[in-house]
């Protein structure tokens, strides 16, 4: 009788635990899964310029960038020959902006896209939460 009761309790405890684990896993996946960009979603992009540019050129580039649809904010550093800009992905595509940049301006540049390896080891403040790690684990299984 006693063994039967212990067996019952064990089965119930195991079932409830499994159920709770599944609920937590689904919840984490639902919260962390990539969602479609919204009207306020902003993406940052970078263009590495090939030739050297002056401060005047930097001003011209910034002015042109601000006239592109969907571009939010721009910074041009003539010393490092880097153009940084944010854009709204529901209004524009970063690749299209860079394509127009190369087609319409006399300055040539490439969009810098970090590799998976670079992303995995960049910025100590981002994406290091326990939940995020669990999400990535589940995502890899799915």
Partner 1 sequence: MIMKKAILLPVIAIVAIASLALFSCSKKSSPTPPVKATLYDSLGGTAMVSDPAHSGTMIEKGYLGVRSVVDSTIFVIAADNRINGHFTVLLNEVTHGNLTGFAELSMNLSNFVAVGTGAKDYKYTGMSMHDAHDPSINTRMNGKASNADFDAFEADLVIGAQKNGVPANLITSLGKIVESLRSQVVQM
Positions in the binding site for partner 1 (CB under 8 A): 31-38, 40-46, 73, 75-77, 80, 82-84, 86, 89, 94, 112-114, 118-129, 132, 135
Q: Regarding beta strands 82-87 and 71-77, do their DSSP bridges make them parallel or antiparallel, or are they unpaired?
A: antiparallel
- Least distance CB 103 / partner 1 (angstroms): 22
State which residue, 7 or 91, has the beta carbon closest to partner 1: 91
Torsion of CA 76, 79, 81, 85, to 10 degrees: -20
Three-state DSSP class for residue 19: helix
Of 1 and 126, nearer to partner 1 (C-beta) is 126
Closer to partner 1 at the Cβ: 7 or 73? 73
- Beta carbon nearer to partner 1, 16 or 90: 90
- Shortest distance in whole angstroms from residue 13 CB to partner 1: 31
Q: How far apart are CA 117 and CA 58, in angstroms?
A: 31
Phi and psi angles of residue 82, each rounded to the nearest 5 degrees, phi first:
-120, 135
CB of 70 to partner 1, least distance (A): 14
- DSSP type of residue 23: H
């Amino acid at each position: 009788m006693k063994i039967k009761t212990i067996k019952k309790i064990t089965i119930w405890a195991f079932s409830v635990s499994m159920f709770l684990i599944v609920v937590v896993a689904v919840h984490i996946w639902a919260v962390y899964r990539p969602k479609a960009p919204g009207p306020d979603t902003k993406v940052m992009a970078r263009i590495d310029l090939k030739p050297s540019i002056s401060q005047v050129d930097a001003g011209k580039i910034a002015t042109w960038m601000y006239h592109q649809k969907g571009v939010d904010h721009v910074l041009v550093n003539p010393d490092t020959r880097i153009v940084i800009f944010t854009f709204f992905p529901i209004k524009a595509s970063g690749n299209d902006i860079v394509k127009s940049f190369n087609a319409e301006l006399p300055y040539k540049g490439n969009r810098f896209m970090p590799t998976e390896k670079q992303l995995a080891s960049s910025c100590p403040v981002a994406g290091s939460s326990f939940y995020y790690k669990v999400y990535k684990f589940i995502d890899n299984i799915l």
